[in-house]
Amino acid sequence: MEFTINTIEDWQKIVDTIIPQLQHNIFLLKGNLGAGKTTFTQFLLKNLGSTDEVNSPTYSIVNEYNTPKGKVYHFDLYRLKNIEEVYDIGIEEYLDNAFLCIIEWPEVYEDELYGLKYHEMSIVNTGENREISFD
């Protein structure tokens, strides 16, 4: 699926379209700095029924949120240098025990997902708008 974001309110339309499509508990979220990854996550969590404050996990590496359907873990792997650091944070336990794991900057971990089913969203900030693709 392809979308274009022109205003912050457009995120709601994307979330409304994506939520019924969620079939897997892993959600890879790609995009450059400032693309809107955390903004998307805020809209998504609100629509999943979370009342938690959603922030970027840049420094904490992982944030935990509660929803009526279960725990959502929001990762930011940007600062992790190699796969060993990803395993050191216990990512496998999170994946095994979550309703949903949203993983920003997943490139360091992507090869390990071979054979697993997951969703992927890419956000490109063009300067005028954001181009979104979702699989």
Residue 48 has a pLDDT of 96
Number of separate domains in the chain: 1
Q: What is the pLDDT of residue 56?
A: 87
pTM over 0.95: no
Helices then strands, counting H and E runs in the chain, come out as 4, 7
At residue 6, the pLDDT reads 92
Residue ranges making up the domain that contains 45: 2-134
What's the pLDDT score for residue 127? 83
The residue assigned the tokens 């979702």 is: 134
| pLDDT the model gives residue 126 | 87
Grouped pLDDT means (10 residues each) for the chain, 135 residues: 92 95 95 89 96 90 95 94 93 92 94 92 91 94
- The secondary element (H helix, E strand) that includes residue 15 is helix 10-18
Instruction: Please give the pLDDT value at position 57.
Output: 86
Give the list of residues 6+ apart from residue 29 with CB closer than 8 angstroms, or none.
Answer: 37, 40, 41, 102, 103, 104, 106, 120, 121, 123
Kindly calculate the radius of gyration of the chain based on its CA atoms and give it in whole angstroms: 14
Which pLDDT score, from 0 to 100, does residue 86 have? 94
- Which of 90, 89, 91, 80 shows the shortest CA–CA distance to 25? 91
What is the CATH classification number for the domain harbouring 86?
A: 3.40.50.300
